[in-house]
């Protein structure tokens, strides 16, 4: 089951997007609806709210006066944080219960205004933000919802900024045009990414990169995408005590370096046997990652090194729009250390980075097939390893 988080500032149109995903076949869980349910008379959370904010937020019939509560919390960050602390856990429990009842193979959409503010995006396979200019949002709130302009601005200011949402989300849908344009964008996303991704999860299929022209010019989003994947993998493995760290490695972790459009992550573990445990595999599968059973070791470096020291396990992504490989290595092993050394050396040594880029370009002009290119790089690695090791000594480098 593919999990999709949909968010956006108040008045952005996120509920319109979620509703359209529901029309296309997804099961939508609306956090605002759940939040209303947990505030109904007789619910424990409503009693907590009464105690914290007073009887003025309760109507004569015992129901919540939402306007009165909003007037208290939105201008006051401390009051809003207190309300979130009361409602957040209750909403989370109810949402989790409803998601557990969604039929396998169905796309599950979580429509959540505070997806970014509460860090809940790490639970989702893909996070989607609907983005609209602030002044447009203010106008919509005043004209369509009848809010006072100052109230509308308070509510917008109390939420995450566009930049914060964009940093946490994988897909940005602009909603400054017509409703028809927004619907068309949602339909395209559904057809080209969400449905194929869900199919890959159900069928147990990895996403694939092309065999030709796989190496591309440096992309400015590699760092942000790598950071989001690191956060998701770290969250998925949070209960596995043997995990020491999760890092973005490889060429996409090095700014201004051409690379295959593939994110490489390294998970360090105290004992590689943990990577073969059912709990480890289940955690990564829940994050949308599937194991490559045939990949069990790195090429020993230097040539002739003990192969037993270069074991690893590898998982791959299922996202048709984003290939990723998760390399699990024993912390302190030669392969674990080399992955970090080469990344840091290339980041901090412009001459080495430029030399590697030139070698990539040279090899691609000879044969741009990925399989051929990967093997052709081996002589460069053999020559570069002593230089990287000298740099490590000269700079007193150690793995983080």
Q: What are the pLDDT digits (tens) for 276-330?
A: 999 999 999 999 999 999 999 998 888 788 998 999 999 999 999 999 999 999 9
User: How far are the Cα atoms of 63, 163, 257, 304, 355 from residue 390, in angstroms, in the given order?
Assistant: 71, 40, 22, 20, 16
**Maximum Cα–Cα distance across the chain:** 81
Q: Are residues 155 and 276 in the same domain?
A: no
Ligand-binding annotation for 252, yes or no, is no
Of the residues 203, 230, 264, the one at which a domain ends: 203
Q: Are residues 233 and 310 in the same domain?
A: yes
Ligand-binding annotation for 268, yes or no, is no
CATH number at 323 reads 3.30.460.10
User: How far are the Cα atoms of 121, 170, 216, 262 from residue 322, in angstroms, in the given order?
Assistant: 17, 10, 14, 7
Residue 7 domain-assigned?
Answer: yes
Which one is predicted more confidently, 288 or 400?
288
Ligand-binding annotation for 16, yes or no, is yes
Q: Exposed e or buried b for every residue in 375-399, given b needs 16+ CB within 10 A? A: ebeeebbeebbeebeebbeeeebeb
Q: Are residues 243 and 298 in the same domain?
A: yes
For the chain, the domain total comes to 2
pLDDT at 400 over 90: no
Reduced to 3 states (helix: H, G, I; strand: E, B; else coil), residue 367 is coil
Of the residues 182, 203, 224, the one at which a domain ends: 203
Q: Are residues 114 and 161 in the same domain?
A: yes
Residue 208 domain-assigned?
Answer: no
User: How far are the Cα atoms of 194, 209, 267, 287, 301 from residue 326, in angstroms, in the given order?
Assistant: 21, 15, 7, 12, 20
pLDDT at 51 over 80: yes
Q: What is the pLDDT of residue 366?
A: 79
In this structure, are residues 108 and 18 in contact, taking their beta carbons and an 8 Å threshold? Answer: no
pLDDT at 368 over 80: no
pTM of the model: 0.89
Ligand-binding annotation for 12, yes or no, is yes
Alpha carbons 35 and 137: distance in angstroms, whole number: 22
Ligand-binding annotation for 288, yes or no, is no
Q: What is the pLDDT of residue 271?
A: 96
Ligand-binding annotation for 304, yes or no, is no
Mean pLDDT of 184-211: 94
Of the residues 181, 203, 225, the one at which a domain ends: 203
pLDDT at 143 over 90: no
Q: What is the pLDDT of residue 140?
A: 87
Domain residues for the domain of 92 are 3-203
Q: What are the pLDDT digits (tens) for 73-120?
A: 988 989 999 998 999 899 989 999 999 999 989 999 999 998 999 899
Residue 312 domain-assigned?
Answer: yes
| Beta pairing class for 108-111 and 27-30 | parallel
Q: What is the pLDDT of residue 137?
A: 87
């Amino acid at each position: 089951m593919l999990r999709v988080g949909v968010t956006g500032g108040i008045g952005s149109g996120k509920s319109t997007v979620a509703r359209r995903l529901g029309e296309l076949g997804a099961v939508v869980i609306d956090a605002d609806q759940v939040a209303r349910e947990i505030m109904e008379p007789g619910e424990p959370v409503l009693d907590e709210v009464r105690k914290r904010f007073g009887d003025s937020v309760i109507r004569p019939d015992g129901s919540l006066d939402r306007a009165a509560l909003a007037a208290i919390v939105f201008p006051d960050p401390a009051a809003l944080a207190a309300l979130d602390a009361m409602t957040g856990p209750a909403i989370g429990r109810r949402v989790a219960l409803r998601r557990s009842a969604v039929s396998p193979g169905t796309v599950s959409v979580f429509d959540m205004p505070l997806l970014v503010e509460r860090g809940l995006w790490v639970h989702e396979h893909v996070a989607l933000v609907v983005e609209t200019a602030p002044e447009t949002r203010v106008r919509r709130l005043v004209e369509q919802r009848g809010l006072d302009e100052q109230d509308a601005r308070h509510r917008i200011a109390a939420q995450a900024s566009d930049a914060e949402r964009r940093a946490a989300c994988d897909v940005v849908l602009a909603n400054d045009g017509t409703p028809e344009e927004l619907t068309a964008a949602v339909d395209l996303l559904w057809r080209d990414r969400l449905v194929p991704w869900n199919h890959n999860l159900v069928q147990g299929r990895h996403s694939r990169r092309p065999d030709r022209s796989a190496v591309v010019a440096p992309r400015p989003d590699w760092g942000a995408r790598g950071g989001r994947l690191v956060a998701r993998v770290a969250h998925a493995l949070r209960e596995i005590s043997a995990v020491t760290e999760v890092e973005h490695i490889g060429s996409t972790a090095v700014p201004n370096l051409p690379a295959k459009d593939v994110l490489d992550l390294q998970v360090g573990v105290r004992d590689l046997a943990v990577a073969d445990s059912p709990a480890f595999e289940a955690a990564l599968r829940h994050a949308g990652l599937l194991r490559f059973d045939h990949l069990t070791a790195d090429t020993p470096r230097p040539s002739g090194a003990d192969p037993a020291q270069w074991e690893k396990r590898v998982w791959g992504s299922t996202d048709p729009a984003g290939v990723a490989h998760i390399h699990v290595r024993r912390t302190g092993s030669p392969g674990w250390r080399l992955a970090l050394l080469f990344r840091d050396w290339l980041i901090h040594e412009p001459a080495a980075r430029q030399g590697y880029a030139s070698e990539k370009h040279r090899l691609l002009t000879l044969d741009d097939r990925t399989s051929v290119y990967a093997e052709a790089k081996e002589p460069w690695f053999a020559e570069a390893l002593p230089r990287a090791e000298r740099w490590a000594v000269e700079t007193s480098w150690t793995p983080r």
